[in-house]
Structure formats: C-alpha cells, structure tokens
Amino acid sequence: MTAVSQLGYLGLGVKDLGEWAAYAEQTLGIERVATDADGTMLLRLDEHHHRFALHQDAHDDITYSGWQVDTAADLKTIGTRLEAGGVDVAWGTREESERRRVINLIRFKDPDGHDVEVFYGPQMASAPFVSKKGGTSFVAGSQGLGHFVIAANNLETTMDFYTSMLGMKVSDYVTRGRLKLGFLHCNPRHHSIAFVEFPGAPKRANHFMLQLEDFDTVGRTWDSVQSGAAPVIMTLGRHSNDEMVSFYMRNPSGFGVEYGWGAREVDDSCWQVAQYDTTSTWGHKSPDRTAIAAP
C-alpha cells in the first residue's frame, strides 16, 4: 500500500515569535534558517531546509502537519485515495509549494478537523546542520523530524483514517483507566504520530518530540531546564512502548516538548502490535498532577 514515508514538517501557530526564537536556539538547539515576508520563522534540525514553520497566531498550537511521500506518483495515489474516500482534497498551487519549500503538496482535514498536508520533494539545506547549542545533533533524516501527539475525539476513527488513507501502521496502544493512546509509524521510528483520546480538547497539541543522537545532550539540557530554562512537565524517565529515555518541558506556547534519546526501532517484517497499561517503566513524574505523560 502506498504510504507516507516520514513526518516532514510541523506548522505551529505561536503568540510570541521572539520568545520561541530564543527557546528554539538556546534550549532545544535547533537553528533559525529564514524568516518569510509574512513573518513566518523557519527552523531546521537536520539536512532538510526546515522542519518547523512558526506562524504568528494567537492559538499557540500545532496548526498543521506535513507528511512526505517519496514520489509524485505516490502523492497522486494518496490524493486519489482520499478523494475516493470522500475527503475534500485541495491540490497545492505553485505559490503554496514554494512557501513550504516542496515540489508539490495536497491539503485536507483529518476526522478531528486538523489540517494535514502530504507532499513530495522537500528542499534540502545547502550546508550541514550545526547547532548553536554545541554538540547537539538529532536523529531525523529519513525517520522524519520526530513525533507529535495530538488529541482525537475518537481514537479508533482517527487511527483508522491515518492507516487506511495515509498507509501508516499501528505500533501499539497504551490504556490506563480512562487514558487511551494509539501510536502509528511509517518508518523505523517507533511512532511519528500518536493520539490521545480527549473529546473537545481545548488545545490539539499534547507535545512534539525531538530525539537526540547523544544521551549527554539530554542530560545537560535536563540540568538547564531544572535550573529554569523551561518549566518541567515530566521528569526524566523511560517509556514502556518505544523505550525512549526522555523528559518533558513546557514550550513558550504552553504545550509539551519531549527531549529524548535511545528509542527502539520498528522492523515491519516482525513487528507485533501490543498494548501497555502504563506509559513509563520509571520516572516521567509530574510536578503538575493534571499533565498527561503521553509517550
């Protein structure tokens, strides 16, 4: 089945671009590459031109996701499949493609009304990624920028859309009391997207995750966060399903960033779907009892 191959980019609508610029470069260690004429700030973390587009917007939320396919033929196949499934698909104009730095894209909404884009042909950077936060490098490239977790009104309906329309595969589930999470992959990264069932959630974004090459970078950043660089959402811990060691901090838009290392990878030739009754094997303690430790 033709499928998306990686999470290419995320669009964020943020209230304070200046605060985000400082947080992105100093705390996350990702690099500001350009500011478009409309003020949109583009950030990179690997060989792709950019992975995040931050738009001036009062929502302070993830506003769209961009999923890469390998070829023009794959884009056409997925677009046609969505249309056959009754989804309203907008084929990207030249101007939209140029704005996203891709060859072509389509736009549509998922069952929760989230804006989703599928594209092929991302622009690559002309120089290697070098973080201003010394020694910081990310596990990205063909695994995509990382992962993100958003709210879904009905977990199964949303999971079914992403598997049947975009060709993603189920990794596993976490169910603990009323907490229900589902995880999907499209390459060896354990999950590129996950959903937490939360009908009517005021903010769609739970968190996005950046995976570091080096555990010491996670440790040093954990030190700086404990010293006040960003509010802590979850302490250092290891997740049950992807086995990532990570901590969670609050970004300037008020939702989470998971900063992690050491996740296991999916091998589709022998992967078996599982369910867990806990998100973490140790740690990931919340100083705020209302927060959710979504892997």
Among candidates 100, 104, 103, 101, which has minimal Cα distance to 89? 104
258 touching Fe ion, by CB under 5 A: yes
Q: Which stretch binds Fe ion (CB under 5 A): 172-180, 212-220, 222-230, 258-266?
A: 258-266
41 touching Fe ion, by CB under 5 A: no
209 touching Fe ion, by CB under 5 A: yes
Q: Specify which residues 174 forms β-bridges with.
A: 181, 276
Coil, strand or helix at 72: helix
Kindly tell me which of 54 and 150 has the beta carbon lying closer to Fe ion. 150
Give least dist CB 66 to Fe ion, A. Answer: 19
Pairing of strands 52-56, 6-14: parallel
Number of residues that bind Fe ion (CB under 5 A): 3
Kindly tell me which of 101 and 284 has the beta carbon lying closer to Fe ion. 284
53 touching Fe ion, by CB under 5 A: no
How far apart are alpha carbons 182 and 258 in whole angstroms? 17
Q: Which stretch binds Fe ion (CB under 5 A): 113-121, 181-189, 207-215, 285-293?
A: 207-215
Residue 222, C-beta contacts closer than 8 angstroms, at least 6 positions apart: 236, 247, 259
261 in Cβ contact with 246 (< 8 Å)? yes
Tokens 């995320």, residue?
Answer: 10
Kindly tell me which of 8 and 295 has the beta carbon lying closer to Fe ion. 295
Give least dist CB 209 to Fe ion, A. Answer: 4
Give least dist CB 260 to Fe ion, A. Answer: 7
Give least dist CB 264 to Fe ion, A. Answer: 14
Q: Which stretch binds Fe ion (CB under 5 A): 50-58, 80-88, 122-130, 204-212?
A: 204-212
Task: List the 102-109 sheet strands across, edge first.
Answer: 31-35, 41-44, 52-56, 6-14, 61-68, 115-122, 102-109, 90-91
How far apart are alpha carbons 27 and 20 in whole angstroms? 10
Kindly tell me which of 41 and 294 has the beta carbon lying closer to Fe ion. 294
Coil, strand or helix at 153: coil
234 touching Fe ion, by CB under 5 A: no
Q: Residue numbers of the site for Fe ion (CB under 5 A)? A: 209, 258, 295
